[in-house]
Every structure is written in C-alpha cells, then in structure tokens.
Structure 1
Amino acid sequence: MHIAFLTPEYPHKDLKGSAGLGSSIKNLAASLIQAGERVTVFVYSQAEDREFEDQGIKIHSIAKRKYKLAGWYLHRKFLQRYINKFILLEGINVLEAPDWTGITALMRFKCPLVIRLHGTDAYFCHLEQRTQKTKNRWFEQLALKNADHILAVSAFTAKLTKEIFGLKKEIQVIPNSIDTELFKPSKVEAEAHRILYFGTLIRKKGVLELAKICNLLFQKTKAVKLILAGKDTIDVLVNRSTKTLFLEQLQAEYHSQVQFVGVLPYAEIEHELARASVVVLPSFAEALPMTWIEAMAMEKALVTSDIGWANEVMIDGETGYTVNPKEHQQFANSIQELLENSKLRLKMGKKARAHLKLNFATEVVVEQNVAFYKTVINE
C-alpha cells in the first residue's frame, strides 16, 4: 500500500515547528514504513517548496501561497491539484488528513480520503466553552461530510465530535502510538523535587491552573522546582502572553522555583523527561495527548487531568493520578505524595510503561491502522 498524509506540521529540522499532531503522524508513518508500506507526507504552509526523504518517508514541503482574494478557496484548490498529481503519478492508495479547521473542505481527491479526529476547532471550543468562528465551523462540517471515512484517536473524541456536528457516519477509534524503543527509561537519574510540564503554554492545557497549584505546592517546600518546556502563546481571552499570565498567577516569592526552557527538540525533551521526578499535565482539552504517552513510555509517574479522554490513557492510582485541574489542593497533594515517595513513583512509572506497551506501542497500533487502510482500499 501507498499511504499519504496531509498535515500543517511535521517534526523535522527543515520544517516549521511541530506539536503533538506532527509527532503522532511521524510515529504512525515510521511504523508503516517498518511494516513494509510506502508513505508520503504533504506538509503545507511551509517556507519553501522542497522534496526530500526522511527515514524512508517521502516528504513534500509545500510553500505557503499568497492570494489577493479568496485565499481560503484558491489555497485549497492549489493543494488539491498538487496532491492529485502525485496520487496519479505515484499510485497513492489512500490520503489521510487531520480534522483541524477542515483543510480538505472543497477538495476532491483521486483516492479515498480519511479524516482522523485529533480534535476540531469546534471540539476544543466546546471543551473550553468559547465561541467558534463561523468560517471554521463551516469548513470543518464540510470536510467531515465529504470524507470517505473518519477515524478518531479516542472514543471520547469520536463521541463528542459526532454530537457537535450531528454526524451519522461510523467513526472507528485507533489511538495515537509511540515507539517504545525510542522513548524508554533513561539511565539519567531523576532529580529529587523536579517536576516537568511539557507542551504548548496555553490556557486549554491547564497552564494557568498549574500556577495556582504551584502556589500550594511551593508553600510546603522550597526545594520543588518546576520546569516548563514549550512554546508561549497569546491567550485567547485577554490577548496577552500565557507565560506572563502564569507568572502573575504565581506568587512572586516562588518565581525562582520556576524555569521556562522554551521549545526543545525531541532529544532534549527526552532528557528533561529523564531528569523529572514527576510529570504534570493538567489539560482541559485534548483528544489523546502525545505528551502523556511519551512520559508513560519513559516510566514516569504522572499527575494529569481527569477529563474525558483521561481514562482511555491513564489508570488512576496505578499509572499516576488523575485529578480535576481546578481542584488545586488535591492536585498539589498528589504531586507532593509522589515527590516524597520514590518507591511509589517507581511502581507507578513501571505500571505506566507496561500499560502503554499493551495499548499504545507502535507495533500494536500499526496493525490496526494497516487493517483499516486495507478495508478502505478494498471498498
């Protein structure tokens, strides 16, 4: 089979920055190559037009085009022509695209189109209880309507997306995956009282709640240090830096216990994970977060949110703790318990990796994806 992906992000040094979506596509693409399939990735809105190969995966970097009028339409038609050319030239059997802002709305392809639900803009607006732009809603509705098949990375995302858009189509669930040979326990020793948050600094991921949680946690011990790794963003509600808002929420006397390290490459993220005693991920809005399964793969005990998708990834009290991020005292107490009990951290970390290997390892999940693509092609 020849499977292609259309995406706005993909982790590679010659492409623009990438987050969880890009990581999930790269993990899947790599596992498909290992399974003997062909893979092409079309990465749009990049700095330049370029074709290259990365670990057996054919990458098309597609430069962002500028249009005086109707760019939303002409951009999609350009991508449609570009991709259809390679569908015909290289025998691509199936094209997969993400759901975010409905990039495939108004497009028609020369092979079956699969949309994988990582979380539409409508989905995240619903979880965050904010108003969605009408244009985005229309694009996403149209893209989902025109897709030949729809996948979701979690049952929670599938169910909520069906409710939001009134979808009648069947949605199969295949989770994100991770290579457990790349993300594995490190020989680097974890540092006592060191906690890590990694991911975009944004309200929906509970970053501002984390500041309030840390006020309670730091009050009990001055030894705790929080590392925040990820890109700062402008907050959607007040139009200011999330990092600045975090520091305003955190009491001034505790500022010295927090370190912002910015966006890090994969290798450095692994190093930060290795050094952390506890990983904290208090998100309000996810589909199936790569950060969670990356930390679990490295045998880290986590304290995460308990919302929606959480019980599809975590086992509360076994792989770590799941807590409502607004329950600041309970969240802080869970972190402190793990910081003070190294045997419990080790036990939960080992359970986290074992649970991950059974459910989210690439060798397990790739079989589900291959079987799904074969069904799509045969139909």
Structure 2
Amino acid sequence: MHICFITSEYPKANFPHGGVGTFIKTIAQKLIDNGHQVSIVGINYENKLEITEENNVKIYRLKPNYIKGLTWYFHTNLINKQIKNIHQINPIDVVESTELGLAFIKKLPSIKYLIRLNGGHHFFAESENRGVNWWKAYQEKKSFRNADYIIGVSQYVVNHTSKFINFDSKKRGVIFNPANLKNFYEADSNKIIDGRIFFAGTLCEKKGIRQLIMAMPLIKKEIPQAHLVIAGRDWFYPKTKKSYTPYLKSFIDESVKDSIVFLGNVDNREIPIEIEKAQVCCYPSHMEAMPLAWIEVMSMGKAFVASNLGPGSEVVNHEENGLLCNPLDIEDVAHQVVRLLKEKEFSRKLAKNARQSVLEKFDVDKIVQQNITLYQSLIYSK
C-alpha cells in the first residue's frame, strides 16, 4: 500500500510540533517497516521547498505562500498539485488528513480519502467556550463531505464531533494513538526527585496548567518539598497575538513562586528524561481527543494524575492505573496529586499498572496492525 498523509506538523529538527506530528511519524515508520510506502505532504515551516527522505518516508515540505485572505487557496493548490504528481509516479491508495484537511482537496479516482478525528474546530470551540468561526466551520463541514471514511482516536471524539456534524454513514470506528515504547521506556525509579511534579504540554487554558499552578499552595501545604516543573511552548491569543504565559504567571501565589520552574519548549526526545525525574506527572486537560502525552507518561510507568473530562476514562481507570481529577476544581487537582506524593506504595502500584495497560492497549505494533487492516478494508471497499 501507499499511504499519503496531509500534514504540516511532521516533526522537523529545531521546529515545534504537537501530538499529531508525533503520531504520524510513529505510524509512518511502522508502515514502512511492514513493507508499505508513505508520503507526507504539507506546507514548510521555512520559506522554501524541501523534498527529503527519512528512513524511507518521503516528505514533501512545500514552499509557503502567505497572502492575506488567499493563503488557503494557494496552499491547497500546492498540496493538490503535489499529490497529483506523486500519484502519477507512484499510485497512492489512501490519503489521510485531520478534520479540516480535505476541504479543498481535488479527489482523484482510485484513491480513498480518510479523516482521522483528532479534535477539530467544532470540537474545541465548545470546550474552550468560544464561538464557532464561520470560515473554519465551513471548511470542516466541506472536508467531512469530501471524506470517504472517518475514524476517531477515541470514542469520545467520535461521539462529541457527531453532535455538530453528521457523518454516520462514513464512520469506521476507533483506533487509539500508539505508545512509542522505544522513546518512552520504563523509567528508573532511582532517578525520581522527591516532591517533583511534572507537566508537559502547550501553555494554554485548555491544558489545565493554570489550575495546576493554582493548586500548588494547597499541595505545598501538605508536601513541603513539592515543586512543579513545566515543559511546553507558549500559546498566543489568535486575535491579539498576546502571550498566554504572563497571564498564567499572574496566578502564581507568592508562597510557591520559588517552587515553580518553566523550562520552555522542550524537544520531544528530552521529555522522557524529565518524566523520569518526576515523582508525579499531572496533565489536567479540560479537553482532549486522545492525549498522546498521557500515553507517554503511562508508558514509562509513572504515577499519573489525568483529567476526568473528555476521553479520560478511556485511558485511565481511576485508582487502578492512575488517578482522575476534575481539572476545573483546584482542590480536587491538589487532592489527587497529594495522594500520589504521600502514598508511595499506592503510587508504585498505579505506575506499574499504567505501563502494563499501555502494553496491552496502546502497543504500537498492535495499533499499526489495526491501521493496516483499516487501510486494506478501505482500499477494497466499493
């Protein structure tokens, strides 16, 4: 098979990327290892055309063309032209994208078009209590109409997106994001720093970092040595372009300002080192589709506090392989973190179960076989 992913998030050295980029890189390499072909088509971070190959994955980073009001038009044309050229030389079987990616794609005969739901515009607009942007909403609905099939990375994202867009006839189930057990290895407990709480993620409201910071005085009252280490890139308000970080720091209580460290953007390859040093990891997101970062923590066998919102219960079984908190309740966030800091034997039990659950449910080799089966079923369906 030849699978083509439309994404501008494929990891590139010295440039930030999110969970979607990490997922595609992982699954792409595994598809190559299983004898299939993979192409990546997207817009470059830099003002140039780059065509490269990494471990037999062919990556087409197209030169951007930023013209106010027409950027979408020129970028779509570039992507359409590149996919057509690739298909003429080496026929593509499946083109895959996230929610908005197929809006203006010119479909080619014999190719199947798939959307993998990772949380689109409608999905996150509601969770962030902001209005739906008519242009993005239009693109998302048009993209769904263009798709032949749609799958989700969690049952929650499928159900929640269905509230806004009807795609029942195109549903093809759920395939979880895989764990990268090579990079996120079993942690050495001897490297734990007592009282360390670790958070990784974009510094924005929906990740729950503000509530975690506000919980720190309560945590430190119970655990004097408690301290919070934060890794993640800044987020900027779409209209004003103002940084979220100064706003976030305004919530740091004077009593804990020396107990909170901001590392800034940390390369994904360095995140396991920071996770390994933590006594507890806490990622209290307000909304996720299927958080790869949670799976990474659990892969390493770490004591973990996650959110009970969104797909939380699809990943974490409360008091079995981690703890769930109400991320909007500062006292509950503090309570669950303190439990893991205080009850070390209980924490070790949950951490051990966390890794075992990942091996059973999120192992990359199992997940890639599910994806291969899916792609084959799409290719041979009428």
Which band: TM-score by shorter chain?
Answer: over 0.9
1:67 and 1:334, CA in 2 relative to 1: closer, same or farther beyond 3 A? closer
Pair 1:167 & 2:167 matched: yes
Distance 1:134 1:355 in 2: 41
Would the aligned equivalents of 2:41 and 2:79 in 1 still touch at CA under 8 Å? Answer: no
Deviation (angstroms), 1:225 = 1.0
Larger displacement relative to structure 2 (341-350 or 228-237): 228-237
Report if the CA contact (8 A) 1:76-1:103 is conserved.
no
- The match for 1:34 is 33
Task: Tell me how far 1:355 sits from its aligned partner.
Answer: 0.6
1: distance between equivalents of 2:245 and 2:347? 29
Q: Which residue of 2 aligns with 1:66?
A: 66
- Pick aligned residue for 2:259 from 245, 248, 257: 257
Q: 195, 198, 202: which is aligned to 1:196?
A: 198
Q: How much identity, in percent, do the aligned residues show?
A: 28
Q: Which amino acid aligns with 1:279?
A: C
Tell me by how many angstroms 1:301 deviates.
1.4
Give the secondary structure class of the aligned counterpart of 1:41.
strand
Residue 266 of structure 1: SS of its match in structure 2?
coil
Question: What is the aligned partner in structure 2 of residue 337 from structure 1?
Answer: 339
* Structure 1 partner of 2:208: 206
What's the counterpart of residue 152 of structure 2? 152
Q: Which residue of 1 aligns with 2:49?
A: 49
Any idea what the Cα deviations from partners look like across 1:342-368, whole Å, max 9, x if unmatched?
222221111011111111111111111
- The CA deviation string for residues 246-291 of structure 1, in whole angstroms up to 9 with x for no partner, is 2211212211100000111122111001101111001011100010
Q: Residue 238 and residue 255 in structure 1: after superposition, are their counterparts in 2 closer, same or farther (change >3 A)?
A: farther
Q: Which residue of 2 aligns with 1:300?
A: 302
Partner of 1:125: 125
8 Å contact from structure 2 (residues 195, 223) kept in 1: no
Mark the CA change 1:239 to 1:65 in structure 2 (over 3 Å): closer, same or farther.
closer
What is the identity, as a one-letter code, of the residue corresponding to 1:179? N
Q: Find 2:329's aligned residue among 327, 330, 333.
A: 327
Who is 2:103 aligned against? 105
- Whole-angstrom CA distance in 1 between matches of 2:317 and 2:256: 32
User: Residue 57 of structure 1: CA displacement?
Assistant: 1.4
**Where in structure 2 are the equivalents of 1:280-299 lying within 5 Å?**
280-299=282-301
Contact 1:247/1:255 (8 A) holds in 2: no
Letter of the 1:104 partner, please give it.
Answer: L
From 275, 278, 303, the equivalent of 1:276 is 278
Q: Which residue of 1 aligns with 2:115?
A: 115
Shift of 1:341: 2.3
Say if 2:183 and 2:269, in contact at 8 Å, map to a contact too: no
Partner of residue 83, structure 1: 83
- 2: CA distance, partners of 1:34 / 1:120: 30
Give distance in 2, aligned partners of 1:118 and 1:39. 20
- TM-superposed deviation, 1:149: 0.8
| Cα distance per residue 1:201-247 (max 9 Å; x no partner) | 00011111112211311233331110100001124698643222222
In the alignment, what sits opposite 2:93?
93
Taking structure 2 as the reference length, what is the TM-score of the superposition?
0.94
1:124 match: secondary structure: helix
- Residues 7-44 of structure 1, C-alpha deviations (whole Å, 9 max, x = no match): 12012316x32011111111111221222211111132
Q: Can you give the 5+ residue segments of structure 1 that lack an aligned partner in the other structure?
A: none
CA deviations on 1:41-94 (whole Å, 9 max, x unpaired) are: 113242121111212211112221134663322321221111111022122211
Query: In the aligned structure 1, how far is the partner of 2:95 from the partner of 2:185?
Result: 31
Unaligned runs of 5+ in 2: none
Q: Is residue 2:42 matched to residue 1:9?
A: no
User: Which stretch of the first structure deviates more once superposed, 43-52 or 305-314?
Assistant: 43-52
Q: Give 2:352's aligned residue.
A: 350
Report the 3-state secondary structure (helix = DSSP H, G, I; strand = E; otherwise coil) of the residue aligned with 1:197: strand
Three-state SS of the structure 2 residue aligned to 1:52 is strand
When residues 68 and 137 of structure 1 are mapped into structure 2, their CA distance, relative to the original with a 3 A threshold, is closer
Please name the residue that 2:184 is paired with.
183
Task: Give the 3 Å change call, closer, same or farther, for CA 67–177 of structure 1 in structure 2.
Answer: same
Q: Deviations over 1:127-180 (max 9, x none)?
A: 222102110000000001110111110011001111111333342211111222
Q: Distance in 2 between matches of 1:333 and 1:237?
A: 36
After superposition, the Cα gap between the structure-2 partners of 1:338 and 1:236, relative to the gap in structure 1 and judged at 3 Å, is: farther
Aligned pair in 2 of structure 1 residues 269, 173: CA closer, same or farther (>3 Å)? Answer: same
So what's the TM-score if we normalise by structure 1? 0.95
CA, structure 1 residues 116+303, in 2 after alignment: closer, same or farther (shift >3 Å)?
same
In 2, are the aligned partners of 1:76 and 1:104 still within 8 Å (CA)? no
Q: Deviations over 1:277-324 (max 9, x none)?
A: 111001011100010000000001111110121111111101111111
SS at match of 1:319: coil
